[in-house]
Structure 1
């Protein structure tokens, strides 16, 4: 069902991109320059065989240039122009006792249905890569988490990514994985065998899901980031413990996308090497 929905969204986007291009009266090359992409990328987006949406900032640029809403571009609404309703550009949602509560999973699902490439800087490392034992340990102090539902969500995400129906980028501090391997900090009571098995499985999953999943490791000695997730051109979230700061203004979402790009540039381990680094950490677990 999710694959069919995503294909429908991509088809609507392709058709409506052609509509706004025709209205612009620009040549394809000029249009591509105006929205910040190259001519070949534009041609790929218009190709009938294409099954991917552009990056969030490109969607926002196309919508801004045409004076239409991103939701209309994606075929999610028949309302072409952005609504007149005033939406608070920043909202604070309390009661976030867990970074993966029902709201977070709902935002994930909405982004996935629309076919967005999600970008995340997780609190430790991505939850959908964690084993049931690790999630049970990490979230033991959050009894409101439905462990079974969370594990099902993780397995479903992996299955969809194997089919190239979903894609995600994650930036994680190298030191977070080193601490996990050594069993220090929050992981000090987690048995070595569980940590070793988790790292081994994570290495295999990252290798299997690449490039649907791209994983960058940055160095905390060089840069720092609070946990945040960019769900779409119109939604991004920062988690600060018990609070979600939700951003819906385009400029705020773009700022977080730029910060994510900064983390990618600062990465000391690139996606094609991450699997081997994680496997090496698994071998070091004692």
Structure 2
């Protein structure tokens, strides 16, 4: 960019930022520790001169914008720290089938396709017995409240505008059927009832709900939910890492779509696979 053009752009952006923040020339002079006459000259001069680095940095800080934006080096006016905070933040995750953050994000994304990799089984497809076994009474919420949350989420899946994809590892279902690891201690009758519930719902709700099964030895995924183009949330235990920057959401969407491409069972065949799982006593 020509020096005169960059100087003009700096004046225009400095003027716009001052107007946006309601800051006068005098206030800006105090904030930057510059003379008012210096500020007036910078805002009015058309000789192609640029302010020194000290003034540009102090002005950007006072106005809450990026110094690079003032100088025409980027079209993003947010400061670097603000851009990072907007792009990725950490939110507390309640150990519950449907915490407030997850519910809010689902509501914001109504009408968009939602992609989901669950931490265990999909909460909205769990039976009441499995919810009681897994969650018990936690964080001041009773298992009955957890069940109410599950029913609410199931109603979400049954809405006419729902487009919901779930991808989960095959071995998670096999371990559940066998009552191994995480599910040790859950009675066989309750495991059978849960698998029948998943089979029935994945069949009844198809194609609005599509449940894919992938081989974790071929591909891997952390628990993640992608809310259309709006945002994605990676579950890490006590927290969600929530991403809103478009490129980050696109990359996580591509990751999920890769799980679907690598799935050993397409969604329409998943109910048959679940039906064939053996549940030992």
TM-score tier by shorter-chain length is: 0.5 to 0.7
Taking the TM superposition and a 5 Å limit, the aligned residue runs for 1:121-200 are: 121-140=117-136, 142-200=138-196
Is 1:216 the equivalent of 2:212? yes
Cα deviations by residue, 1:138-188 (Å, 9 ceiling, x for unpaired): 113733445334323332443454452322100000000000000001100
Is 1:266 the equivalent of 2:257? no
**Which residue of the other structure, out of 109, 112, 129, is the alignment partner of 1:111?**
109
Distance 1:127 1:97, change over 3 A: closer
Deviation at 1:194, TM superposition (A): 0.4
Deviation at 1:93, TM superposition (A): 1.8
Partner of 2:87: 89
Q: Give, in whole Å, the separation in 2 of the partners of 1:160 and 1:257.
A: 21
**Secondary structure of residue in 2 paired with 1:105:** helix
Partner of 2:70: none
Q: What TM-score, normalized to structure 1?
A: 0.65
**Which residue of the other structure, out of 232, 239, 243, is the alignment partner of 2:235?**
239
Cα deviations by residue, 1:216-235 (Å, 9 ceiling, x for unpaired): 00001111110000013121
Contact map agreement 1:101 1:145 (CA 8 A) in 2: no
Deviation at 1:92, TM superposition (A): 1.2
Is 1:257 the equivalent of 2:257? no
Partner of 2:271: 275
Partner of 1:33: none
**Secondary structure of residue in 2 paired with 1:241:** coil
**Secondary structure of residue in 2 paired with 1:210:** coil
Q: What TM-score, normalized to structure 2?
A: 0.66
Q: Give, in whole Å, the separation in 2 of the partners of 1:101 and 1:247.
A: 18
Contact map agreement 1:99 1:241 (CA 8 A) in 2: no
Partner of 1:38: none
Partner of 2:279: 284
Contact map agreement 1:91 1:246 (CA 8 A) in 2: yes
**Secondary structure of residue in 1 paired with 2:109:** helix
Partner of 1:102: 100
Contact map agreement 2:94 2:238 (CA 8 A) in 1: yes
Single out whichever of 154-163 and 130-139 deviates more from structure 2: 154-163
Deviation at 1:95, TM superposition (A): 5.4
Partner of 2:55: none
Give the aligned length.
Answer: 202
Deviation at 1:262, TM superposition (A): 0.7
Alpha-carbon RMSD across the aligned residues, in angstroms, is 2.3
Q: Give, in whole Å, the separation in 1 of the partners of 2:77 and 2:142.
A: 36
**Secondary structure of residue in 2 paired with 1:267:** coil
Unaligned runs of 5+ in 1: 1-81
Partner of 2:198: 202
Distance 1:179 1:83, change over 3 A: farther
**Secondary structure of residue in 2 paired with 1:150:** helix
